[in-house]
């Protein structure tokens, strides 16, 4: 009489080698805990071999122990990553590497040279493990350079700073350009004021004109100071003109009526009235 489960029977089938025959294996007499629990049969050999089901027959296995965390739970919430997910999904992440490393010079527009990838560093690691020493003066002699600019082929590395400089140069040009306009306005005199009126929407020009006028005022003051013997009257005029002082505060409002919606800088009409 042999008593075994179906699962075990399958196991025996798979072991076709004589060395692993059931006789040489575990004794069938020894009772074993049935792991599958699916089907128990009793096979009797002899003249009339019979197969008798000796246990209950179940279609299903016993349910296996459930894992603590499965895909049924919201794993993003479980691991507290909702905030991070919201951060990335909420706004569009800019694709360029330079947005991740804004302070890295030469990161933007740097040509991708061959074998300069991080992957190549991992695949073919550089020679390492040696101690690093400071270079001696003899070794530094190898870095003695010829005076002059870099050869063409290496200048690409300077592209990014050059761009920044270009912007600065543009700004500088603007700065340089404005005095020319000022000169023109100076040459025009009162006509220059009219021109300024026409172009009052251009703030920069306004600022520049104001500066010029302030300079002129100061010069006039100095002249007056030289000629006039009464310093008290000078102080009064100073207040009217708009030289820094408390009396100055009311000026822009009165000027605003003339020049339109201009800021505190727009004292030019009153200033010109002084001339």
List contacts with another protein (CB under 8 A): 56-60, 62-63, 70-72, 74-76, 81, 84-85, 88-89, 93-97, 99-100, 103-106, 112, 117-119, 122, 132-135, 140, 143-150, 155, 157-158, 161
Minimum Å gap between C-beta 160 and another protein is: 10
Which residue, 85 or 275, has its beta carbon nearer to another protein?
85
* Sign of the Cα pseudo-torsion (178, 182, 183, 185, in order): positive
Minimum Å gap between C-beta 30 and another protein is: 24
Give the count of beta carbons closer than 10 Å to the beta carbon of residue 19: 7
Minimum Å gap between C-beta 36 and another protein is: 14
Which residue, 88 or 275, has its beta carbon nearer to another protein?
88
* Sign of the Cα pseudo-torsion (137, 141, 146, 149, in order): negative
Minimum Å gap between C-beta 48 and another protein is: 28
DSSP labels, 152-199: GGGGGGGHHHHHHHHHHHHHHHHHHHHHHHHHHHHHHTHHHHHHHHHT
Which residue, 150 or 184, has its beta carbon nearer to another protein?
150
Which residue, 104 or 184, has its beta carbon nearer to another protein?
104
DSSP labels, 63-93: PPPPPSS-TTS-HHHHTT-HHHHHHHHHSPP
Minimum Å gap between C-beta 96 and another protein is: 6
Q: Give the C-alpha separation, 46 to 44, whole Å.
A: 7
Please enumerate, as own/partner, the contacts of 103-106 that have beta carbons within 8 Å and a separation of 24 or more. 105/160, 105/161, 106/157, 106/159, 106/160
Which residue, 14 or 112, has its beta carbon nearer to another protein?
112
């Amino acid at each position: 009489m042999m008593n075994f489960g179906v699962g075990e029977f399958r196991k025996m089938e798979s072991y076709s080698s004589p060395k692993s025959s059931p006789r040489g294996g575990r004794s069938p007499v020894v009772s074993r805990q049935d792991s599958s629990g699916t089907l128990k049969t009793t096979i009797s050999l002899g003249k009339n071999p019979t197969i008798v089901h000796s246990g209950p027959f179940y279609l299903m296995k016993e349910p296996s122990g459930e894992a603590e965390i499965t895909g049924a739970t919201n794993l993003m919430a479980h691991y507290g990553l909702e905030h991070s997910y919201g951060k990335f999904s909420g706004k569009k992440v800019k694709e360029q590497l330079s947005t991740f490393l804004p302070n890295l010079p030469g990161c933007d527009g740097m040509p991708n040279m061959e074998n300069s990838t991080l992957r190549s560093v991992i695949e073919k690691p550089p020679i390492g493990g040696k101690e690093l020493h400071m270079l001696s003066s003899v070794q530094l002699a190898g870095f003695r350079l010829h005076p002059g600019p870099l050869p063409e082929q290496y200048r690409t590395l300077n592209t990014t700073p050059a761009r920044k400089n270009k912007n600065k140069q543009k700004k500088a040009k603007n700065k340089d350009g404005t005095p020319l306009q000022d000169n023109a306005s100076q040459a025009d005199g009162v006509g220059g004021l009219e021109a300024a009126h026409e172009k009052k929407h251009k703030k920069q020009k306004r600022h520049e004109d104001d500066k010029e006028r302030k300079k002129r005022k100061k010069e006039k003051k100095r002249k007056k100071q030289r000629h006039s013997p009464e310093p008290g009257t000078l102080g009064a005029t100073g207040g009217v003109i708009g030289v820094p002082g408390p009396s100055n505060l009311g000026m822009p409002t009165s000027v605003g009526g003339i020049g339109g919606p201009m800021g505190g800088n727009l004292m030019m009409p009153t200033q010109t009235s002084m001339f």
